[in-house]
Chain A
Amino acid sequence: MTMTVHDRSRAISTFRFLSVWMMETIAGWTPITPEMDVKVMFGRHIWDYAQIADALGKRTFELRKPEQHSTAPGPAYLDFLHTVRSEATTAARIGAFYEGLLPGLIARYRAYVAATDPVLDEPSVVIIDRILRDLERHRQEANSLCEALKLAPAKPGFASREAAIGEFIVAKADA
């Protein structure tokens, strides 16, 4: 079954919600993180997530929603996000964010690209291609930094918990 314009706008606006959430989460961690090198990495990623949100927010307008429109994901995913944000140490935050949240999010973007019409929805696909490159780079940068700082990010099952949530887009939330 093909995706409708409503399906696309719901997905893109949900991805935008997540991008803003990621920007705010990393920004919120910056002043309470002692390690200078981690702050520096966060500074770069804050700007990346802001640009991602901005690109998705322009696309929501093209898909019949207001510019910079966001749609919250379902409650199970929101609960998962709350857990990620509540991590208390630098290592645990990096682990939860870059190794718990990002792999699943990358898979969700890829699933969207696989499901949508590559020609009709090419503007979304082009944006997502760029986002995927950024997210993969973020994981690599976080891994390299953890190695350099000898941080051992705890991985308390975040990635499997994310995957177990299944669909995170709220059906017909604002159709």
Chain B
Amino acid sequence: MIGIGFFDVEDIKLRDAPARDACFDVVYRDAEMHEYAELSAMWLRETLHRHMTNEITSLDIAAACLVEFPDAPWELRLELARQCWDEARHVRVLHRRLSEVGGHRGEFPISVLEWNITCALDNLPGRLATQNRTLEAGAMDVVKGLSRNVREYGDERTADMLEAILTDEVQHVRFANRWIRRWATEDRRVLMKIAYAVRFLAAANAKFQIKAGELNAVGKTLEAPEDRIPAVNVEDRKLAEFSDDEVNEILRQAGFRALVPDGVAA
């Protein structure tokens, strides 16, 4: 076990934050984060900074899984070790790009909520379901849209970098999907752990969620959470081996009913 404890948020027990450089200001609510008008210079810097620090958190989570589940199958431990390297490379390239556009580490508040939630779970299927299969899969949706937007804006360098990162993330989601499927086939009780983890993630997120019309730390009016859901990256979710049924379900939850193929019950 890593020597990082827990804290309570009302009825939910979350994991204390991992260590961060003193320059970083760790906050818990989206409203405390900085968010700027899309495609402005400040927006680009904050976006790169946010992704860079999210990658640090992903590295911490994968590393913690290696240590806290020493009896996991060796092949899975290899995947987690490889993920550590991938996330470390992502931190490097995002920091490099952040520096190129005039930003610096610690310039904006950061969140480690993905760690607080994922590493509060005491089982590996639950952590993979939360971090890799849900949060990283969600990041695939975000990064896909982001790379398209910055390319249209003429920032080819950032777009190319984001697409390369996205390619690595597909594998992180895919290996989680494969192992969850394999565990569930061997022992149906694993599905209970997965279901609990997904409910836990939703409940924990709800504690920190923004409200429609709320002002963030830099005075921007925030939309309701349901209006901030990115377009579903169907192509990469399929590469990451989500089944057609799972993709359709995600599309429904995201409110993209029109994209659900004909013949699939809503």
Contacts and interface: CB of A to CB of B under 8 A. Distances in A.
A47 B85 contact: yes
A47 B83 CA distance: 8
Q: Which of B19, B56, B82, B105 has the most CB of A within 10 A?
A: B19
Interface in A112-126: none
Contacts, number: 89
A14 B82 CA distance: 23
A93 to B, nearest CB: 12
B74 interface: yes
B78 A33 contact: no
B213 interface: no
Contacts of B20: 34, 36
A24 B85 contact: no
A31 B85 contact: no
A159 interface: no
Given A32-B18, A44-B85, A50-B82, A39 B77 contact: no
Contacts of B170: none
Q: Is the interface of A mostly helix, strand, loop or mixed?
A: helix
Query: Which interface class (under 10, 10 to 19, 20 to 34, 35 or more) fits B?
Result: 20 to 34
A44 B88 contact: yes
A54 interface: yes
Q: Is the interface of B mostly helix, strand, loop or mixed?
A: helix
B64 to A, nearest CB: 5
A54 B92 CA distance: 26
Contact of B82 (A31, A41, A47): A47
15 contacts: A23-B81, A24-B67, A26-B63, A28-B2, A28-B67, A31-B60, A32-B3, A32-B18, A36-B95, A39-B56, A39-B88, A40-B59, A42-B84, A43-B88, A46-B63
Q: Which 3 A-B pairs have the closest CB atoms?
A: A43-B88, A50-B81, A47-B85
Interface of B: 2-4, 18-22, 56, 59-60, 63-64, 66-67, 70, 74, 77-78, 81-82, 84-85, 87-89, 91-92, 95, 105, 115
